[in-house]
Amino acid sequence: VLASLPLQMMLYFNVYYFPVWFLAEGMMLQLKYQLLPRHYQFLLVAAFLILSLAEGSRLYLGYVGNLQEK
């Protein structure tokens, strides 16, 4: 198997740091949400959801792709 060990290590640590980032960003979003205008509230929540989904799928596809040599 020709899986990339440095990539696998980075993905492994990123899987553990992602929930920390998610919680910290969620708490900051909750703290400043009421102080922002409506359009910024919508944009901030949309960006948070898109980034969270993209990061989760990136980690999953990275694991699967690296271990299956794709």
**What tokens does 53 get?**
């989904």
- Tallying the residues shown for the chain, one arrives at 70
**What tokens does 25 get?**
């960003």
The residues, any chain, with a CB within 8 Å of residue 16's CB and separated by 6 or more, are none
| pLDDT for residue 6 | 87
The helix/strand/coil state of 12 is helix
> What pTM does this model have?
0.78
Q: Which parts of the chain sit beneath pLDDT 70? A: 1, 70
